[in-house]
Amino acid sequence: MVLAVAMLVLLAVVPAGWWLVRRNGGRRAAGPLWPLLLFELLAVTYALIIPPWQASDEPQHMVHVEVVRRGGFGAADSLLPFKSPSRRLMQIDADVQRQIVDSMRATNAVRWLPGARSAVSAGAVPGPTELNHPPLYYDVAAVLVRPFASSPVVARLALLRVLGVVLAAGVVWCCGAAGRVLFGRTRWAETPAVIAVAVPTFVLLAGSVNNDALAHLLAALLLLLLLAGVVDAGRVARPLPWLCLIVLLLVLGVLTKRTFVPLVPVVLVAMAVRLRRHPRA
């Protein structure tokens, strides 16, 4: 019951965030609410329909979250090859692996993942390790599920699936905001948001445990910020806030996933275009 309430509260972050944007930035800044609510409905439906442990690399991502939850920040890094983890951390890793394998057996996960049958039979979590990924998503996820330490691991998995939906809803809002910046008050303004909602793969992957969810949101925010700066739209386009927010999003992005680095050339191009269009900016 408590976990269900936590999920509902987490989902309510999306309309609450929309309301705050509308209150402080106006109706045009917030855009319509219905694409966000529709996306949440579709993504949560996918998250409920798809059996536990079936999303891409979900078991190994959950290993990383659980290791951080029990071992503290930096615990996953200590378990990497060529490191010397403490006996306590090694025991935590073994316990986490066992819990997730037991959950996969209890939910008959190998029925839908026949390629994982040999690993699960051997008592190992299938898939490549995710412990070598940057820490930000896993730290956030570990903090979120920490109050539910006494719940089964599959319950914490469900909560993190909802977190993925909320983060992806932020991407939908960014798409709509970009449309409003580009197309103004025309009927095409909300087209990017509608397209995002209509992409089945995006909706499907939203309801999974994966650091891509946070990386996508940070990338969407960065691209929206760059667009605002290039067209000189809004207070955020002022030179100092623009540059500071770019640096912040780049740092957070790299701390989430290393594939964020290729966005650096995009930032440089946006800066060059802005300087050409607005030499004093």
pLDDT tens, residue by residue, 62-80: 999 999 999 999 899 998 8
pLDDT tens, residue by residue, 119-172: 998 989 998 999 999 999 999 999 999 999 999 999 999 999 999 999 999 999
pLDDT given for residue 180 in this prediction: 92
In this structure, how many other beta carbons lie within 10 angstroms of the beta carbon of residue 229?
Answer: 27
Over the chain, what is the mean pLDDT?
92
pLDDT given for residue 279 in this prediction: 61
pLDDT at 10 over 70: yes
pLDDT at 281 over 60: no
pTM for the complete prediction?
0.93
pLDDT at 250 over 60: yes
Average pLDDT over every residue of 25-43 = 93
